[in-house]
Structure 1
Amino acid sequence: SSHVAWNVLCNSVMFAPLNLVALNNNPDVSSVSNALSSNINNLPLNGDQWDGYTTERANLLQVLEKHHHNTGANPLFLTGDIHTEWAHTLDAPNQPADAGPLGAELVCSSVSAPNVDEILGIPPNNPLTPAAQQIIQAANPHCRHVNLVHHGYSYVTISREEAEMHWLRVSAIGDPQAPVSDKITLTWRKGQGFTS
């Protein structure tokens, strides 16, 4: 029943879908997708996050969309645990195309927990990680930002009409004197989505 400008939801695992590949958008496998089912378009990458609870996620988005319709409040999910940087636009299931985006999600990186390259033993500045980031964004059009490499933390500055998201990065996690810099700033505006 609240009439606040934002519903901020702190979240332990990524809320937005993370699809490995969008089958219907890939001409090499679209015939396989069509043969399996006309409803199959996405393959989730990690069922241990909200992708393993798609019905519950859809139900929550419907509740948030109804609340948005009644009060104008937008949801903002603040998430961690995946050790990488992400920013997503969130839409409710069956939301009219002209309704504008419902909300956003900011996912912070880890300060020291291993990132993707470190878990896989891939050296820094390799060509695979940037390619993986491009593939992820192509399969997830709601993903505005992803970075699988850097360590750091995040914060959000919230006003009534927008949320300004900041990703800060530390240059060397083993050096207590290592500088921290504000590397990425994105703004999500009500009714528009990401404007930067």
Structure 2
Amino acid sequence: MPLNLDAWDGYPADRERVLDLFRQHANNAVVLAGDTHSSWAFDLHDDEGDAIAVEFGTPSVSSPGFETFLPLPERELVAAFMRNSPEMRYMRGLGRGWIELDITREQVAAQFLYVSTVMEQEYQVGETQPLISRAGEHVIA
């Protein structure tokens, strides 16, 4: 049963058709998403288990994320998602911020940036190590 009918898992046949189009016409596909307002990165595999593309989900700058309906400590939230999502390579459910992509012919590098607060005008920005997907590999290294 799909976890979220408004996401990939709610449309398995359509998802497979999109991945098939990527396989045929877009050798280095990168999917960007943002509806969850949380940070994550996935390797996308087809039904046969072949790596086809990578997907990055951007956090929101001000809207709340998972904390509104899953009030768990960050470590528990991430552990639960990572344990149940074998294609997931990165997740942060509670941070507010954005993602920056550096796209070249050789690779895409995704770096998540987070603000220390959204409640004040003064804030600091923290950043993650870039997540890299090299051309032709279809996975996050």
What is the TM-score normalised by the length of structure 2? 0.88
What is residue 154 of structure 1 aligned with on the other side?
99
1:187 to 1:140, Cα distance in 2 relative to 1, 3 A: same
CA distance in 2, matches of 1:66, 1:93: 15
What is residue 22 of structure 2 aligned with on the other side?
64
Cα contact 1:62–1:93 (8 A) shared by 2: no
CA distance in 1, matches of 2:8, 2:69: 23
Deviations 1:158-182 (A, max 9, x none): 1112100010000001112212222
What is residue 128 of structure 2 aligned with on the other side?
183
In structure 1, runs of 5+ residues without a counterpart are 1-42
What is residue 138 of structure 1 aligned with on the other side?
83
Higher share in helix: 1
Percent of residue pairs bearing the same amino acid type? 26
Cα contact 2:36–2:66 (8 A) shared by 1: no
Shift of 1:62: 0.8
Shift of 1:129: 3.3
CA distance in 1, matches of 2:70, 2:86: 28
- Of 139, 145, 163, 2:108 maps to 163
Aligned length in residues: 140
Q: How does 1:1-196 map onto structure 2 within 5 Å?
A: 43-68=1-26, 73-94=27-48, 101-117=51-67, 119-120=68-69, 122=71, 128-192=73-137, 193-195=139-141
1:95 to 1:142, Cα distance in 2 relative to 1, 3 A: closer
Larger-Rg structure: 1
Cα contact 1:168–1:184 (8 A) shared by 2: no
RMSD, matched Cα: 1.9
In structure 2, runs of 5+ residues without a counterpart are none
What is residue 11 of structure 1 aligned with on the other side?
none
Cα contact 1:162–1:187 (8 A) shared by 2: yes
1:121 to 1:189, Cα distance in 2 relative to 1, 3 A: closer
Shift of 1:87: 0.3
CA distance in 2, matches of 1:121, 1:65: 35
Deviations 1:100-147 (A, max 9, x none): x32111100010101222x1484xxx6x43123112112111100011
